[in-house]
Amino acid sequence: MARNPATAKPPSQPAGRMTVRHYCQGIGDCHLLSFPKVGGGLFWMLIDCGVHSSVTGGTAKIAAIVQDIATQTKHIDVLVLTHEHTDHVSGFLTAADQFKSFSVDAVWLAWTENPADPQAKQLDKYKNDAVTALQAASQRLSAAAAPSDYITALHQGLDAVIGFSFGATGSKVRAARDAGIGLARGNIHYLEPTDPPMIRDDLGLRIYVLGPPRDAKLLGLTERASEMFGAQVATSPRSRALAVACAVSAAQTEIVDTGAPFDTYVGTPLDAVARAVGPEAAALASFVQDNYSGPAKPPARPNPSRKNLAPTTQPDRDQSWRRIDQDWLGISADLAMQLDSKTNNTSLVLAFEFIDTGRVLLFAADAQIGNWLSWQDRSWQVGDAQVTGPDLLARTVYYKVGHHGSHNATPLAKGLGQMHQTDLSAFVPTNALDAQKVGWGQMPYTAILKALATQCSGRVIRADSPWITGTGPGPEFQAPSGSIKSLSFAQNLWVELQLA
Ligand SMILES: [Zn+2]
């Protein structure tokens, strides 16, 4: 593994109060934190260990990561599982054998993962219903005869989301999460945003739980135009309701279209026309294909005896565009996005505050707008003082960027706008090329990257920064500077920072 000697030099400023090794697996989170203990030794915390199922070679990458963790420590004081998504927990399943040699004292999860919590149970039911509906929609799309480009793309997108919930090898993301939980042998802590801060005098640290919120409206709020960097809010409650209704009805064997102009016994389904046999049926199928459903037939071979007649079907006669029989399933894409975003919003968000300096390190997991907005009303009694959510944001000097830098996971005013520290530095756990493959659009989101770069004076590190992937020079900033007291990295595997 190549280290960068230019940036790995000993810090001239005081040594870091916390070391974080961010693993660079592309789309996925795995962060190994260590805090020096008063009296010697280190306190180890592992936040997540996963990679998105569509990242090529992801399982091997996770194996390399767990092997590397073992070179640092085989004892984890606290394992944090931020939320139930493959790119945060897959490693506990795929590298289960490697994790067997670790000892884990405790696991921290959000209240949303507590099987005994009534509100968490409701969320779980929504999730299960939605996944079932999406699978049904996917099956219907598989059965579509001669699907249009739109339907093909929709089908691929839908399967990507379902794969995200169920993992590349068909194993459920829940099994991966539970494998992580199992490492702590029953010492499980479900954390609430109303909990008092955990005070660790031996580490000189206070740890605050910022989210996920109990407020159902905020928990369900994944986008708000006024808090987003130029992005449009894509969905409405009505389209969501329709999505559920349509996708759930897709699970039925026969769909009753109450908006159809004729009774169901009148007419023939398009797929049945295509499947019919016999000369009459073939003529009808050909007529329907030419005039209603497409696709275009290949141009007829020229027949010398019919010189003056054009081929019966021209390429420009493709009538696929007329078809709407499967288009209603398009609404399932909306449901899929909602399912994904809502699970992100159940992220356990932690803020680490150094007791003596008041400086804060924020680990936002994949929290979306509603999770962030709930911090505005948080307050904790600390001694004689009240500490508030905005107060913690104002003192943040290090930010693990939310949801891989997506458009709706770093709010404009009530997020970055409240981080005022000139020492601010940030890490984005994303590989933009992998994000394109997943079809998540622009991730990391350019407008957020620009705002971060300005506010962090360039101290924004990405999992795919050219100097980490070995494809270019850098980093562009000096270390030590800002909250980064020293920096080292292993090409394509990790970047390690000492922070203070
Ligand atoms: Zn994620």
For residues 311 and 219, which has the higher predicted lDDT (pLDDT)? 219
pLDDT at 469: 96
Residues 6+ apart with CB under 8 A from 299: 311, 313, 314, 315
Q: What is the mean pLDDT of the chain?
A: 84
Q: 427 C-alpha vs ligand 1 centroid, how far in Å?
A: 14
395 and 281 in a common domain: no
The residue from 296, 324, 352 where one domain ends is 324
Reply yes or no on whether the pLDDT at 33 is more than 90.
Answer: yes
Asked whether residue 2 is domain-assigned, the answer is no
Q: How many domains are contained in the chain?
A: 2
- 241 pLDDT band, cuts 50/70/90, is very low
Q: 27 C-alpha vs ligand 1 centroid, how far in Å?
A: 7
453 and 317 in a common domain: no
Mean pLDDT of 110-139: 88
Asked whether residue 81 is domain-assigned, the answer is yes
pLDDT at 15: 55
- Backbone φ/ψ region at 244: left (φ over 0), alpha (ψ -120 to 50), beta: alpha
Mean pLDDT of 227-252: 50
pLDDT digits (tens, 9 = 90+) for 184-198: 999 999 999 999 999
Asked whether residue 171 is domain-assigned, the answer is yes
Reply yes or no on whether the pLDDT at 260 is more than 90.
Answer: no
For residues 232 and 371, which has the higher predicted lDDT (pLDDT)? 371
Q: What CATH number is given to the structural domain containing 395? A: 3.60.15.10
Torsion sign (Cα): 130, 134, 136, 140: positive
Q: 88 C-alpha vs ligand 1 centroid, how far in Å?
A: 6
Q: 343 C-alpha vs ligand 1 centroid, how far in Å?
A: 10
Mean pLDDT of 275-290: 83
The residue from 324, 348, 370 where one domain ends is 324
For residues 256 and 395, which has the higher predicted lDDT (pLDDT)? 395
216 and 175 in a common domain: yes
180 and 285 in a common domain: no
Q: 159 C-alpha vs ligand 1 centroid, how far in Å?
A: 17
- 337 pLDDT band, cuts 50/70/90, is confident
Asked whether residue 147 is domain-assigned, the answer is no
**Phi, psi values for residue 115, rounded to 5°:** -65, -15
The residue from 324, 347, 363 where one domain ends is 324
Q: 38 C-alpha vs ligand 1 centroid, how far in Å?
A: 34
Asked whether residue 133 is domain-assigned, the answer is no
Asked whether residue 261 is domain-assigned, the answer is no
Q: pTM surpassing 0.85?
A: no
Q: 419 C-alpha vs ligand 1 centroid, how far in Å?
A: 22
313 and 384 in a common domain: no
Strand blocks (E) in 214-359: 349-354
Q: 131 C-alpha vs ligand 1 centroid, how far in Å?
A: 18
Asked whether residue 132 is domain-assigned, the answer is no
48 and 114 in a common domain: yes
pLDDT digits (tens, 9 = 90+) for 45-93: 999 999 988 788 999 999 999 999 999 999 999 999 999 999 999 999 9
- 221 pLDDT band, cuts 50/70/90, is confident
Reply yes or no on whether the pLDDT at 384 is more than 60.
Answer: yes
User: Structural domain of residue 315, as residue ranges?
Assistant: 270-324
Distance CA 86, CA 293 (A): 39
Mean pLDDT of 10-29: 78
Q: 82 C-alpha vs ligand 1 centroid, how far in Å?
A: 9
Asked whether residue 470 is domain-assigned, the answer is yes
pLDDT at 326: 65
Query: What are the residues facing 76 on neighbouring strands?
Result: 104
pLDDT at 158: 76
174 and 83 in a common domain: yes
